[in-house]
Amino acid sequence: MDERIRLIKELEEKRRVDLGAMDETLEKLGKNLLSVYTKPEKPKKTRKTKEASAGEKEPAPVKQDEPDSIAGEYRRICEEMAETKKQIEAAREEASGYDELIEDIEKKESEQAGHNKEITPLYAQIGKLALADPVFESFSAPYKNEMEEILDAIDAREAKLEELDQKTGNIFSVIGKNAQSLVVKTMLMKNQADLHKIYRSAGEKFIAVEEDFSEGEEELTEAAEEAGKHKAALDELGSRLASLKEERKKTADFFRREGSPDRRIKAFEKSLNVAGAETVKLCRRFGGLAIEKKNDSYFKSLLNEENKKIIAKAAALKKSADESEIKIGKLKAAVAIDGEKAGIEKLRKSIGSEERKIKSAQDAIGELEKEIQAAENRISELEKKL
């Protein structure tokens, strides 16, 4: 490989690194300056400036509206970014609040299920005791007829099962007895379930109408007090759950209209990334203005020791990158010139080769022309003999 090609690659890599470091340095400088930038007064004309206006050309300083425009745009984007961050935080709080709401609902539903599990057998126990207690005869009256019918049916089924158990006989009798027992047991289970429903319904109503259960048996009183505690807890849980579920519905409706928090957060973060990239560009542009010598007087009031060091570093990096670019240009030109020279040499060789071919062809033509002349001379001699 041509040594110059290797040098070009090394210089291009060095220039790339220098430019990257310069961009970072300009970004830092621009950010520092923009944080303290206020529109400065228009610089007064110096003697040199007056002389320049009379004839001597002087580099034009940065236009007033350019840094003002960059600063205004930078601040506008920063304000938008701050607002976007607030929106992201708000969306995260919404998501967290909704998760807590769901967790609270699940927790209270679990508590509700626990109380229901405890109170259901208590209702059945209370109903059975209250319907059997003569103190609550007026309360029991609506249930008496149906309960007695079911109790009679249960007694009849149990008696039938006892009768079938005592029956003996051959194998066919046993099979028939077992089938009949199965039917009776099924009906008995249904009657017992119906009786349990009546007890449970009566017990639930007994607690709901707030009967004075203290007049009843001790077992009934204790069961009623325990059921009352569970019912009070269930009433409070029911009210709270209704409120929480209504809040969940409103929140879910809001999410359907506006988008879920996760979706909005992703959109906000994407917008934030785009805005952040824009602020980087603006900082670099502002820093780029500050390192130009012609703008020294304009930015002088904004420069502290740290910023002066940053400017010196950026200037050194820019100089290094520019020098690399010049060297690269020279090396590429030299390589291109050698390439052109090699091409010219190749073309010259091709011309020489073609010229040799032409000379050879010309020599061959000369020989042919001599043969033609000899033939024509022989013809003339022969014609004399005619």
Segments making up each domain of the chain, as ranges = 114-258
Task: Compute the average pLDDT of residues 93-110.
Answer: 92
pLDDT digits 0-9 by tens, 129-150: 888 887 787 787 888 888 888 8
Task: Identify the residue whose tokens are 């409103």.
Answer: 250
CB atoms within 10 A of CB 29: 28
| Position 324, amino acid | S
Per-residue pLDDT of 236-258, as tens digits, reads: 999 999 999 999 999 899 888 88
Q: Considering only CA atoms, which of 99, 117, 111, 116 is closest in space to residue 240?
A: 111
Q: Which stretches of 218-304 are DSSP H helices?
A: 218-258, 261-290, 296-299
Its pTM stands at 0.58
Q: Which of 313, 311, 315, 289 is nearest to 40 (CA)?
A: 289
Would you tell me how many other CB atoms lie within 10 Å of the CB of residue 87? Answer: 16
Q: What is the band of 292 on the pLDDT scale with cuts at 50, 70, 90?
A: confident
From the list 119, 129, 113, 128, the residue with the least C-alpha distance to 197 is: 128
- b/e burial code for range 304-313 (CB count within 10 A of at least 16 → b): eeebeebbeb
Q: How far apart are CA 284 and CA 276, in angstroms?
A: 13
Lowest mean pLDDT among 350-354, 363-367, 379-383: 379-383
Nearest by Cα to 195 from 133, 118, 128: 128
How distant, in Å, are the alpha carbons of 87, 95, 113, 137, 199 from that of 101?
Answer: 20, 10, 18, 47, 37
Contacts of 66 (CB under 8 A, 6+ apart): 289
Whole-Å CA distances, 283 to 34, 74, 101, 229, 302: 8, 8, 44, 69, 15
Asked if residues 223 and 129 have their Cβ atoms less than 8 Å apart, the reply is yes
Query: Looking at residues 187-207, what average pLDDT do you find?
Result: 87
Structure tokens given for 16: 């790339």
The larger pLDDT score, comparing residue 57 to residue 113, is at 113
